[in-house]
Structure 1
């Protein structure tokens, strides 16, 4: 008998379902253990086939069972769904009460009968220790008539060629590690040092030395604790690529063209494929997993092309984006059309279906392009540091509870973007940090405004005279709230505090803000402005500390200095001037999906 594990992320999602319905469970099966990661729920709104939904999950994360909430259960479809649980002969059934996992029953189908099975809860630390992901990027071209049958046939042929002939090779980015479909000398060489996938992570870490510019030390990254193996796809054109002495072995970028004729259109297929990897898997099994991930990604792209033809649209290039909503604990892939913006009706309906199918509220954006996962290779070195509070020293508040900014932001401070704003630009920089949060969370695609953009806007709304443009004049919390509304259509609450000493009594209000809104706060008082990105609060004793981003920092993007010298760190209530009044600009999330 095997073990059953359920991630704590999924259990929390199960707890949030308040209506009677059924759904499908998705997970992985390794070492006689089924680990349940994800689910989708069947609703009457934009019902999608679970087979189509499954393509959005990473390769190796497959249909493994069913979940029912309350007494609702579609027994007519149970046999059809369970026969598609290909990775296990013993599908799982979870039976949950509405709005609670207390009393949840977990069962397993054995020879067509249900048997009770206990489950273990898998906490995030254990998940990240046991699993990682691969990301494969490549491009194909197909030449095809723009008909449903022709596109299906051509992409099916392409998938068969990829899966069958072993002509592809995979290169682990930033290393000299190649993986081919045959037992080559190269594979033998690395099998000595890389028997398991976890060894590949070590190889990548060892190859990173000196990869970043000297002035960009310890760049903070988005809050994903998964290691992601970035992999390129290459095509072997050598007649004998297993010969390590052959100097002519080359692996050019892959482009496959099939069935070319005068009546065919050239359609580029941009493949961005992910797979979940159990770290104890042998590297010898990785090739087949990567091939499967590419084929699954091609099927997702094909799905998008077929949808366009059903809707009588002109063929547009499909682009794959990866998302990781905080509640998921795994990645999910979506394909959007290059020439359709997120604000168009068709895209809104597409996202609305996704929210319903994954049991997510339609009050926050999760699947806009701006919400896509930013992998380390996607972050530009000339951008500000992201999420500089990650890894900061503890606050020291005894028995306190932390309430932190929810999501990603960039740390803007003096002297960036070749602007010498030392002594006057702190509130501008705090505003830029706030704008970056809304941009990175997908609420807007509007770029972060420059100092001149901010000044010009305030002049245009007649808040400032024309002489304000290109000046070194300060702005405060009121101007910040005006700009948020003007640039992003975001409303803000303004909290007035008569003195810095009174901020010690605002713990409950600030906790509520970070719990419900989760946005960074701009605070201005006297001649200084700062950004509050969290608090640590003991509500019984009233002890309170503030997690501060200080925009007055003037040096290079060195996280060690920024955290070590307190430019990003916890501050006590004594940090605020007791002789100055303060205004806090507290941005409110719009209702957007």
Structure 2
């Protein structure tokens, strides 16, 4: 029986960007009654050599090797397909995609059946369906790893550790619930093994909603008694800017090599701590290395809960393999006495991928070290990514909502807005994530004068969340102090309520982040619409928020909707003058983040646009 083949829309867009003749490996998820969803690929690093073994553990569990992709007139595709057959476990019929260079026209899919290729149809799965039908798990645990400081010892001890974990010695608890998973199955809150992951997701949503209702003070008329709420897990445990639901998993207990039972699983009414320390037997002449394991898996929501335990174990083993790779590489590179450095795991969510990817970096080794840069360059080549933007720097790692402490501004407030109403228009939007900064946040009384400061903060947050910097978003005082330090303002400017404009914003971006900006001037608000094609090009090539100010109030432009045939344009405005609570529904409904026409700009005032440029870095 031929598998039903689906291809992620994200994957198709990435295939279209490959302009070199080569082949590579496909990674996908097998789910349901034999449906195979293609989600990722990598390309060969050298002609005639596949490199999937170097990167397959970077994918979440369940995203597995499933075939080959061939770009252009690559002659070694069938030989490569034969090569990878031994490592394709999720399907008996590996896939071959044949693509022309730089286009999806003529894309064909084949399955390898009975030692020959047979063409099959495929469906495209768009982002909305992916986010609806799939979710991710995120598991965290701590362990003490004992090893000697040699390559052979690290490989041996890591193998023993994976073997121990795979022996049924772990138990898990689903965060916010009393649902437990052991090697014998799931239990708690009436959940059975034949339940689906979707049932588990709903159980977590219900638990969170119930907890919120107990602590929520509902104003009269705002909510009817007994009204149910459906909280997306993406807004609780998910990564910033990522629409996937995420299940947060706690580890209950791991037995040591001498232990024979799992403690704390099943009957306890108390929730486990976020991460439980685990250890293996200490032996003389070994060093102790505390490791923080953070593992992910990708699940179709129609998957049975009975499979979840093994999937979580596999996710841990993949993380440990990444740790092993990074430690071994460092030991092999050491020319003098080897020093064992601790690895840490980082998750990334490149927008082009539509799925998470994990890397392991060694503590104390800078991202700017030559060998680390070379590894990132290689990773960019593996995935067909340009080496001019950061994708896998530590600063670019995912920020998960349940890891955040304190109050943070809203993220990506434009998501979910209604269409602008421009007929035959094309949207050009900010690329990536940003925080919405506005008046009166962080107990700062800046109403009436701080709009440009807030716009600058939003822009700085964009560079922070895209991994261009690790510096925190500057405060009003820090902004003022910098402008005094460079001689742009007198000393009494610090602590004042004086405005700043586009020029000062560009100075601060250069000073704080080493970011250059292009300043665009128009003499009247009526002329802002004439910049539509320039703004479209900016959002296509740079993708950064734009600060606009001048003789009147400052705003942030985060996109446009533009019809080049008619010249009609609307601007997506993030308004820093909002003074209310960070309630997304209010902000969108009242137009504090929304589409504005050309009459939004004051025809009697001039405007300067500060258009930040992306630095070239990786």
TM-score by length of 2: 0.90
Matched, 1:343 2:361: no
The Cα of 1:387 is off from its aligned counterpart by 1.0
| Alignment check: 8 A CA contact 1:61 1:276 kept | yes
Does the 8 A contact of 1:144 with 1:259 survive in 2? no
Q: Deviations over 1:99-133 (max 9, x none)?
A: 12211222111122222222222222222222211
Equivalent position to 2:245, from 227, 231, 235: 227
State how 1:273-292 maps to structure 2 within 5 Å: 273-292=295-314
Q: CA deviation at 1:397?
A: 2.2
CA contact (8 A) 1:342 1:368 kept: yes
1:478-506 deviation line (CA, Å, top 9, x unaligned): 11111111111111111111111111222
CA–CA distance in 2 between the matches of 1:247 and 1:13?
47
Structure 2 residue 548 is matched with structure 1 residue 526: no
Report the Cα offset of residue 172 of structure 1: 0.9
What is the distance in 2 between the residues matched to 1:414 and 1:121?
43
Partner of 1:55: 57
Query: 1:236·1:251 contact (CA, 8 Å) conserved in 2?
Result: no
Q: Distance in 2 between matches of 1:69 and 1:92?
A: 14
Q: CA deviation at 1:86?
A: 1.3
Aligned counterpart, 1:196: 196
Residues 465 and 267 of structure 1, relative CA distance in 2, 3 Å threshold = same
Task: Map Cα deviations across residues 394-431 of structure 1 (whole Å, 9 max, x no partner).
Answer: 32223322111111011111122222112111111111
Aligned to 1:180: 182
Paired residue secondary structure (2:204): helix
Distance 1:273 1:249 in 2: 20
**Alpha-carbon distance change, 83 to 570 in structure 1, aligned in 2, over 3 angstroms:** same
1:22 aligns with 2:19: no
Residue 135 of structure 1 pairs with residue 138 of structure 2: yes
The within-5 A match list for 1:357-368 is: 357-368=382-393
When residues 482 and 273 of structure 1 are mapped into structure 2, their CA distance, relative to the original with a 3 A threshold, is same
* Structure 1 residues 554 and 248: CA distance shift in structure 2, 3 A: closer
Give the aligned partner of residue 449 of structure 1: 474
SS at match of 2:307: helix
Partners of 2:6 and 2:123 within 8 A in 1 = yes
Query: Counterparts of 2:18 and 2:301 in 1: how far apart (Å)?
Result: 32
> For each residue in 1:545-587, what CA deviation from the matched residue of structure 2 results, as whole angstroms up to 9, or x when unmatched?
2111111122222222222222111222221111111101011
Q: 539, 550, 568: which one pairs with 1:514? A: 539
Matched, 1:494 2:519: yes
CA displacement at 1:381 relative to structure 2: 4.4
Equivalent residue, structure 2, for 1:70: 72
Q: Given the alignment of the two structures, is residue 305 of structure 1 paired with residue 307 of structure 2, yes or no?
A: no
Structure 2 gap ranges (5+):
223-230
CA RMSD of aligned residues (A): 2.6
**Closer/same/farther in 2, CA of residues 259 and 49 from structure 1, 3 Å limit:** farther
**TM-score if structure 1 supplies the norm length?**
0.93
Matching residue within 425, 444, 447 for 1:419: 444
Q: Which residue in the other structure is 1:145 paired with?
A: 148
Deviation per CA, 1:272-319, whole angstroms, max 9, x where unpaired?
Answer: 111111111111111111111111111111111111211225222211
Tell me: CA distance 1:455–1:113, structure 2 relative to 1, closer, same or farther (3 Å): same
**Contact 1:236/1:250 (8 A) holds in 2:** no
Partner in structure 1 of residue 413 of structure 2: 388
Counterpart in the other structure of 2:38: 36
Output the CA distance in 2 between the equivalents of 1:167 and 1:500.
67
Q: Is the 8 A contact 1:154 1:258 kept in 2?
A: no
Cα drift, residue 12 of structure 1: 1.4
Assess, with a 3 A threshold, how the Cα gap between structure 1 residues 200 and 500 changes in structure 2: closer, same or farther: same
Q: What's 1:171 paired with?
A: 173
Q: CA deviation at 1:250?
A: 7.7
How far apart are the structure 1 equivalents of 2:490 and 2:267? 73
Contact 2:30 2:36 in 1 (8 A): yes
SS at structure 2 position matched to 1:506: helix
Identify unmatched segments of 5+ residues in structure 1: none
Distance 1:535 1:456 in 2: 34
2:178, 2:188 within 8 Å by CA — same for their partners in 1?
no
| Structure 1 residues 565 and 571: alpha-carbon distance in aligned structure 2, compared to 1, 3 A threshold | same
Distance 1:408 1:561 in 2: 20
28 and 243 in structure 1: CA distance in 2 versus 1, 3 angstrom threshold: closer
2:208 is aligned with 1:208: yes
Does the Cα contact within 8 Å between 2:250 and 2:273 map onto a contact in 1?
no
SS at match of 2:87: coil
Equivalent pair of 1:22/1:73 in contact (CA under 8 Å)? no
The Cα shift of 1:223 comes to 3.1
Displacement of 1:332 in angstroms is: 0.7
